[in-house]
Structures are given as C-alpha cells and as structure tokens.
Amino acid sequence: MSNRRPLIAGNWKMNKLSADGLALAAGVAGRRRAQPDLPCDVLVCPPFTLLSEVAKAVAGSGVMVGAQDCHAKVSGAHTGDIAAAMLKDAGCGAVIVGHSERRTDHGETDAMVKAKAEAALAAGLMAVVCVGETLAERDAGRTFEVNRSQVQGSLPDGANAANTVIAYEPVWAIGTGRVATPEQAQDVHALIRAELAARLGAAEAAKMRILYGGSMKPDNAKALLALPDVDGGLIGGAALKVEDFWAIAEACA
C-alpha cells in the first residue's frame, strides 16, 4: 500500500434479487456508517436491476454504487443496452468495464472496452478498467505482454487518477479459489504502473489506483493489500456477504 487511498469494490455479477440485494447493500452501508474512518473507499456494483434501489439504500453512507458494464454510445437503437448517462441517472458513481467475463461472454475487445470507458468518463462516472491474462497465457510466459497490451488498448483517453481505476484480474484466479501469490500480483501491478507512467506520466501513474481481483477473501486480503502497488480489491464471491466483504475492507486498516 502507499499514500493512494485503497478502493474496496464488490462486483456482485449476476447475483441477488431485490430482497437479498437490498439487505446486502444496507449491511455494507451500516458498516461504513459505523466505521467512517476506515482508510478506504467502498464501492458496490449490483446488477442493473438493483442500481436505483441500492443507490437509495446506501445514500449518505459514503458507499459508492457502480454498474458492471455500459454501452459506448450516448443513446439510440441498442436494444438491451444501458448508456453511461443512464447509470449516472440511476445513482451510480462508477462503472466496471472490460471484465474478463464480458470479454469472453460478449467478445469485448480492447477497443470496445476503451470506448466504453470513454463513455463512462464523458458521463462523469469513474471507470474501473479490467485487464488480466488467462492461465494459458500465463503458462505460455505471456503474462506481461498480455497485460501491457490490454492496458495500452483499453485505457480511455482523458484517463487520470481521479476518474480511472485499473483492476488486474488474472482470469485463472476468478471464482476458482486460486489466488495470485503476492509476488505474482505485485509483479503485474508494477508492470501496469510502468505502462501507466509511459502513457500518463510518472506523477499521474503514481496516483492511480490498481486493484487486484481474483479469489480475494478475508484470509488473503491483508497480504495482497500490503503490496506496494496493490491499491484495493475487486471482489466477487466474497462481496456477496456483508461479513466477508467488510472483513476485506477492514484489512485496509
């Protein structure tokens, strides 16, 4: 960790109906209210259907709400898609773009992710831009090359430390219980920061937050969050339970 304020972000993915989702949101908001001085920012990213309700449930608590995707265009004939301004209108302050599940399930390319991130910034949302290698890419010794090119291709024009966060999520660690070792995580985070420095300058890169995601749990969070270039977590499974999610937030203290 560093002087960057960590961000603990929960990606609920395609989970939670209203009763459970609102209870989870209220639980997180209650913890945040009880520990306003905990040194981290907290973000929850429910499915689209719950965004407005969750935004109302956490209002005033200091918990930020984000979506899990947005369309690159401002409006128009894109059935089933959601524009960044709609997310903002629903109470969001952020949006995840380029999650590996979207890259895989929806064929999202770096160029598409970049366009979505730029749409997010234009709407006044913080973009959480995800990158990460597959197991096959790691085994082939391509980890650095893949992450470097994803950062190069996905980083929005106009990115700065206030409006953009990078999330390094090794695909082989997502939902598998197989977490990156601290050394593996730090190596890629340092590489990403170097890439950001090349693009944005060293001063801006030094301020930008790079989250780790992939089987982050209460029992491994402290070691990951202590790494020099890890500035928080993007948490899936463990974000679905107040206790687990908040235990990770407390690991920032």
Catalytic positions, written as ranges: 99, 169
Q: Interacting stretch for ligand 13P, rule CB under 6 A, among 24-32, 108-116, 155-163, 229-237?
A: 229-237
Q: Interacting stretch for ligand 13P, rule CB under 6 A, among 18-26, 31-39, 46-54, 167-175?
A: 167-175
Residue 129 C-beta: closest distance to ligand 13P, Å = 12
Tell me: does residue 175 bind ligand 13P (CB under 6 A).
Answer: yes
- Judged on CB neighbours under 10 Å (0-12, 13-18, 19+), 48 is middle
The answer to whether 188 and 143 are in contact (CB under 8 A) is yes
Residue 249 C-beta: closest distance to ligand 13P, Å = 14
Pairing of strands 126-131, 94-97: parallel
Tell me: does residue 244 bind ligand 13P (CB under 6 A).
Answer: no
Residue 60 C-beta: closest distance to ligand 13P, Å = 26
Q: Distance (Å, rounded) from C-alpha 96 to C-alpha 5?
A: 19
Dihedral of the alpha carbons of 235, 78, 113, 169, in degrees to the nearest 10: 20
Tell me: does residue 46 bind ligand 13P (CB under 6 A).
Answer: no
- Applying CB under 6 A, the site for ligand 13P has a residue count of 14
Residue 231 C-beta: closest distance to ligand 13P, Å = 15
Tell me: does residue 216 bind ligand 13P (CB under 6 A).
Answer: yes
The answer to whether 58 and 89 are in contact (CB under 8 A) is no
Q: Distance (Å, rounded) from C-alpha 71 to C-alpha 64?
A: 20
**In this chain, which of 21, 98, 213, 232 binds ligand 13P, going by CB under 6 A?**
213
**Which structure tokens are listed for 139?**
């085994």
Tell me: does residue 170 bind ligand 13P (CB under 6 A).
Answer: no
17 CB contacts (<8 Å, ≥6 apart)?
A: none
Number of other CB atoms surrounding residue 177 within 10 Å: 9
Tell me: does residue 131 bind ligand 13P (CB under 6 A).
Answer: no
Binding-site ranges for ligand 13P (CB under 6 A): 11, 99, 169, 174-175, 213-216, 234-238
